[in-house]
Amino acid sequence: MTLLFISNSDDPDRWREGLGRALPDLEVRVWPEIGRAEDIRYALVWKARPGILAGLPNLELIQSLGMGVDHIFVDPELPATVPVARLIDQDLVRQMSEYVLAMALRHHRRLDEYDRIQQTGDWRRLAMPDTGATRIGILGLGEIGAPIARLFAELGFAVAGWSRTQKSIPGVESFRGAAGLSNFLARTDILVCLLPLTKVTKNILDKTAFARLPKGAYIINLARGQHVVEEDLLAAIEAGHLSGAALDVFRTEPLPKDHPFWAHPKIRITPHIAGITNPATAVAQVAENIRRVRAGHQPLNLVDRTQGY
């Protein structure tokens, strides 16, 4: 049995080593050295070039190298009957939780303002923020959003989440559907986007959404760059309606050198590092999905193609 590894950003040797221990009879080939296409039964992918997967006639599983699968569904030639699986890894959840907490608490405790004060040599204290009165809003209460919402609730913040369907999480107010989005935004001071990228969620954070947020709201996006209409975000910050943003994902990556985000004093940029798949923790799930498919069963974290996640 043969697996094809396709990624320009992940280390194939670490995956080959880990899969070799878990499945000694599995041959791992690395794109573009695929050999006979007919041999390949499984594909482990991140941003495969459109058409590659369609050229594998005996493909039985498409396994994402990350929790998102939008990079797979942009392929217009994607095989229609091959199951697609997400990677739900607790190490990724931990990494992204750390990122959100770091960015939210940095804003909440006014540390960016203290950085600017330090440059003046001024020993000055700012008013202490009220944690209980600060309203966190989580867009997306799935495998990542739900545990992050619980973390903020445990810290004493007023937490709410918005999702496609109603959720029940202790200490977290739940909003759902198009009807609930406006009310969710209106009660949110720090907005965290953790949504999957679908036709419904693309451009969800536009000038209309920003206008519904309270004055001074802060944006944290570590989902996908296509969720945010970038020119609308800049306009809302420049107008003083939003206080700033922390962004890990962008519509074009790498972010172009001349992009206005780079030099903006109220925008914090990181290069898509909020969560990076670790083969040491994730390989077990990939191996289990291969075993399941071999046995004629559904893989773990099977994607619903009608929903896109």
Structure tokens at 242: 């939003």
Is residue 307 domain-resident? no
Residues 119 and 247 placed together within one structural domain of the fold: yes
Is residue 301 domain-resident? no
Residues 66 and 191 placed together within one structural domain of the fold: no
Residues 111 and 134 placed together within one structural domain of the fold: yes
Residues 67 and 193 placed together within one structural domain of the fold: no
DSSP track, the chain: -EEEEE-SSS-HHHHHHHHHHH-TT-EEEETT----GGGEEEEEESSPPTTTGGG-TT--EEEESSS--HHHHT-TT--SSS-EE----HHHHHHHHHHHHHHHHHHHTTHHHHHHHHHHT---PPPPP-GGG-EEEEE--STTHHHHHHHHHHTT-EEEEEESS---BTTEEEEEHHHHHHHHHHT-SEEEE-----TTTTT-BSHHHHHHSPTTEEEEE-S-GGGB-HHHHHHHHHTTSEEEEEES--SSSSPPTT-TTTT-TTEEE--S-S----HHHHHHHHHHHHHHHHTT-PPTTB--TTTT-
- Could you tell me if residue 67 is left (phi over 0), alpha (psi between -120 and 50 degrees) or otherwise beta? alpha
Residues 175 and 115 placed together within one structural domain of the fold: yes
Annotated catalytic residue: which of 251, 272, 292, 294? 272
- 0.85 surpassed by pTM: yes
Is residue 77 domain-resident? yes
Q: Is 224 a catalytic residue?
A: yes
Angle between helices 90-108 and 111-120 (to 10 degrees): 50
Residues 217 and 139 placed together within one structural domain of the fold: yes
Q: Is 212 a catalytic residue?
A: no
Per-residue pLDDT of the chain (309 residues), as tens digits, is: 999 999 999 999 999 999 999 999 999 999 999 999 999 999 999 999 999 999 999 999 999 999 999 999 999 999 999 999 999 999 999 999 999 999 999 999 999 999 999 999 999 999 999 999 999 999 999 999 999 999 999 999 999 999 999 999 999 999 999 999 999 999 999 999 999 999 999 999 999 999 999 999 999 999 999 999 999 999 999 999 999 999 999 999 999 999 999 999 999 999 999 999 999 999 999 999 999 999 999 999 999 999 989
CATH number at residue 196: 3.40.50.720
Residues 42 and 141 placed together within one structural domain of the fold: no
Note the pLDDT of residue 252.
Answer: 98
Burial class (CB in 10 A: 0-12, 13-18, 19+), 231: exposed
Integer Cα distance of 285 and 175 in angstroms: 32
Residues 98 and 85 placed together within one structural domain of the fold: no
Of 178, 176, 171, 140, nearest in space to 157 by CA: 171
Note the pLDDT of residue 145.
Answer: 98
Is residue 309 domain-resident? no
Note the pLDDT of residue 197.
Answer: 96
Give the domain range for residue 66.
2-89+277-294
Note the pLDDT of residue 181.
Answer: 98
Is residue 303 domain-resident? no
Encoded amino acid at 21, one letter: R
Domain count, the chain: 2
Annotated catalytic residue: which of 29, 107, 164, 224? 224
Residues 127 and 96 placed together within one structural domain of the fold: yes
Note the pLDDT of residue 46.
Answer: 97
Note the pLDDT of residue 117.
Answer: 97
Residues 94 and 82 placed together within one structural domain of the fold: no
Is residue 128 domain-resident? yes
Residues 133 and 214 placed together within one structural domain of the fold: yes
Note the pLDDT of residue 174.
Answer: 97
Is residue 306 domain-resident? no
Is residue 60 domain-resident? yes
Residues 152 and 250 placed together within one structural domain of the fold: yes
C-alpha dist (Å) from residue 134 to 167, 200, 212, 218: 21, 28, 17, 11
Note the pLDDT of residue 279.
Answer: 97
